[in-house]
Amino acid sequence: MELHKSSLVADLHCDTALRMLQGIQISVRDTSGHVDIPRLREGGVDLQVFACFISTNHPKDDCADYVHRMLDTLEAQFERNKANIAICTKAKEAEEIINSGRIAGFLAIENGVAIENNLEELKNFYKRGVRYLTLTHTSSNDWCISSGDENPESFGLTDFGREVVKKMNELGMIIDVSHASESAFWEVLKVTTDPIIASHSCVYALNPHDRNLKDEQLKALAKNGGMVGINFFPAYLSKEFNEKLTNAWEKSKKEKETLLNKYKDDQKKRREVYHQIWEEIKEELKGIKVGLSLVVDHIDYIVNLVGVDYVGFGSDFDGVTFLPSGLEDCSKLLEITKELVRRGYSESDIKKILGGNFMRVFREVCDK
């Protein structure tokens, strides 16, 4: 407990911003979600990244405005809770906020569709305090190929995608390659002059999922000076869980498509349909146990492959339907520290994993 409290604890990714846009108040303990101020306090979280998620299928002419509305919501709620949380745009500023007894809120965007193929919009988001951009999501956008595409194009990034990377370097904005295809990953590394991150990904050698990074990618990321935030989603952690989840999802595919087509113009009803189907899948998978030790297995793998300086965690809280036992929400993060201690990690190495590695990248990219 003392080690956890004395460490700077940073979670590189949550999707709570979308839930805030939908009406939840971050000041109130919320039993339906994973992140709020009371539980961030309990979990000893010092820096929380709030990623503004937007789907590639979102109407193209509303993408930027939609993310701006999400940022408006974040800013308004942080302002109402300014005794407990404040936005940070530099590592030095984050440390000042944390030293004052508050939580540092780091603003990010998940999916490059938000900039509407316009570098001016990227600059606008930077001016609003956004400090990392996840280039794509589960399906490709116009300029970056997703790892989720079954037949990805070979280009990885278009010429415009390379301009985005260069502009992010120029601005001092962290490039996030979670969700990017292998081809896009390698294209980013050819162009970037700054360290990059994979904010919420796992290890391909432990679970061959398209969202996970292969050994050569991990080695290249370390050489670049970047880092990986291990995702808590069991489908990325466990090969067995992923196979069972895929099978359950395929079984419900016809029912899902029928209902979604029926309610194609009713977003509220579509969310209810998704919720219903996921509840059925949850019931089917409840016998499969995935524990928090698997999160640390993925950390171990990276440490053994490239060293302790290139790994942390990006929970994906409020963006995933399943979580490992023992990591049900952000109040449980002490359990990772306990497991790292149990496995014999030194105090200095634990501090790096809990947040020091991310702060190094944050400082190098954003404080310049």
| Angstrom distance (rounded) from CA 58 to CA 53 | 11
Segment 194-210 mean pLDDT: 98
- pLDDT 10s digits, 31-40: 889 999 999 9
| Angstrom distance (rounded) from CA 277 to CA 272 | 9
Antiparallel, parallel or unpaired: β 47-53 and 10-14: parallel
pLDDT class for 212, splitting at 50, 70, 90? very high
Tell me what percent of the chain is helix, strand and coil, each rounded to the nearest 5. Answer: 50, 15, 35
Contact partners, residue 123, CB within 8 Å, separation at least 6: 167, 171
pTM recorded for the entire structure: 0.94
Of the candidate CATH numbers 3.90.1150.10, 2.60.120.960, 3.20.20.140, 3.40.50.300, the domain formed by 2-237+290-366 belongs to 3.20.20.140
Report which of 121, 124, 133, 111 is spatially closest to residue 57, judged by C-alpha positions. Answer: 111
| Angstrom distance (rounded) from CA 287 to CA 211 | 24
User: Three-state DSSP class for 86?
Assistant: strand
Domain ranges of the chain: 2-237+290-366, 239-289
Mean pLDDT lowest among 77-81, 221-225, 249-253: 249-253
Cα–Cα distance list, 111 to 118, 201, 339 (Å): 14, 15, 33
pLDDT class for 152, splitting at 50, 70, 90? low
- pLDDT 10s digits, 289-346: 899 999 999 999 999 999 999 999 999 999 998 999 999 999 999 999 999 999 999 9
- pLDDT 10s digits, 84-103: 999 999 999 999 999 999 99
Phi, psi dihedral angles at 281 (to 5 degrees): -65, -40
Mean pLDDT lowest among 59-68, 194-203, 226-235, 277-286: 277-286
Residue 267, pLDDT score: 67
Report which of 230, 172, 174 is spatially closest to residue 206, judged by C-alpha positions. Answer: 230
